[in-house]
Structure 1
Amino acid sequence: MPLTHLSKDPVFARIIAETPAPKPVYDWDNDLYLALLESIVSQQISTKAADAIFKRLLTLFPDGYPHPNALLAKTTEELRSAGLSFQKARYLQSVAEFALTHRMDRPYVDAMTDEEIVQYLIPIKGVGRWTVEMLLMFVLDRPDVFPVDDLVIRQRMLRAYADQTAGLTGKALYKKLHEIAEPWRPYRTLACRYLWRWKADVPAPVADPALTPED
């Protein structure tokens, strides 16, 4: 049903035909707190480096789990010994501070809309809309997320829909990308996962400097 719906867009039907199906989502055993810590570690570095740093981070705790109180008790130097930058060490502790005073369990969060979750989590230092949208897609398994701030998503859409986006920049381009994605509802998450995996055979256009990820 989702693929049938997305294939009503002839451009996207071609993308689906050319692209291997996305892999199953791994949800961190429904642990939003741990997933948020991992997402901060992963910001702006390779997956391989992020995995290594996160594993070293977990070894700093006796039971291999960075409980909020235990994470806050670590000095910046101890956290940086895992390979974290000073800034990321502070961001992780901001998540821990938030977790001590705000609920992050699935029953509570699952009752919220996507936008309510975005607004709930972005007050945390180091967490922006893009980070929360990744959690919505890959941890909370929300089916209709469209992370337009993701550079790869924008570049792939500019390739696939070049005739509709030619010459557009800034807010006009932003609006057009939303218009293109509107018919994908309520399966925009799956559509974006296909876009990430799609290998276009034409050069990528120059990215619009007015549209960059927040995190």
Structure 2
Amino acid sequence: MVTKKIIAHLQQDPIMEKVIQTTPPLPEISGGEVYPYLVRSITSQQLSVKAAATIHGRFLDLFEEKYPHPEILSELDTEVLRSVGLSYQKAAYVKNVAQYFLENQDESWDKLTDGEIIQKLTTIKGVGKWTVEMVLMFALKRPDVFPIDDLGIRQAMIELYDVQLEKKALYQKLEEIAAPWGPYRTIACRYLWHWKG
């Protein structure tokens, strides 16, 4: 929930204050389970919103209750997954996610730090740091995630803060700019995405 306290904290940064003032209120995040969120992230990667929704819908139609239970997904033939529009690579990746969750059913995400979750989930082939950061932000509703590898976040910050650096120096500067937003960097990033459009 975006509270007045969080907004007041973020508005201590004058540029973020302007972003917040010119951006409609952020919608609430409903949160959810890590496993289906990861599967959806993979099925939707590098697709338009419309194409992603279509393919993910077809994917879910493969399962009773429209839920890709790990034990069923891990056993599905790759060609069946391909028939709903997944590439060979994405088919392999969603099966990797299913296998991981079959082997790690008792994982208690609430007891782990953001860093520990990133470390665990990026061991799954096909799941990168950015994907896990999105899980942290939107499935687990963690408040202080800064996905510096997100192109939209970088572009918004470069434009708003007039950053004229590249590579390592750019990343260091963006981290420096975002540091005061803590412990609410997730909310700050959501404002940046909405501002960027």
TM-score higher than 0.5? yes
Distance 1:33 1:175, change over 3 A: same
- TM-score, normalising length: structure 2: 0.94
Deviation at 1:74, TM superposition (A): 1.2
Aligned partner of 1:55 in structure 2 is 57
1:185 is aligned to 2:182: yes
Give the counterpart letter for 2:112 in structure 1.
M
Aligned partner of 1:96 in structure 2 is 98
Aligned partner of 2:89 in structure 1 is 87
1:175 is aligned to 2:178: no
Deviation at 1:26, TM superposition (A): 2.8
Distance 1:4 1:67, change over 3 A: same
Matched residue count: 193
CA contact (8 A) 1:19 1:199 kept: no
1:194 is aligned to 2:191: yes
1:128 is aligned to 2:128: yes
CA contact (8 A) 1:32 1:104 kept: no
TM-superposition CA deviations, 1:11-69 (whole Å, max 9, x none):
11111111112211132xx3211111001111111121111111111111233221112
Relative to its length, the structure with more helix (as a share) is 2
Gapped regions of structure 1 (runs ≥ 5): 201-215
TM-superposition CA deviations, 1:111-156 (whole Å, max 9, x none):
0000100001001111000000000000100000000000000000
What is the alpha-carbon distance in structure 2 between the residues aligned to residue 2 and residue 80 of structure 1?
Answer: 44
Give the counterpart letter for 1:169 in structure 2.
E
Q: Give runs of ≥4 in structure 1 deviating > 3 Å.
A: none
Calculate percent identity across the aligned residue pairs: 53
Aligned partner of 2:10 in structure 1 is 6
Deviation at 1:104, TM superposition (A): 6.1
Aligned partner of 1:35 in structure 2 is 37
Distance 1:13 1:122, change over 3 A: same
What is the alpha-carbon distance in structure 2 between the residues aligned to residue 62 and residue 191 of structure 1?
Answer: 38
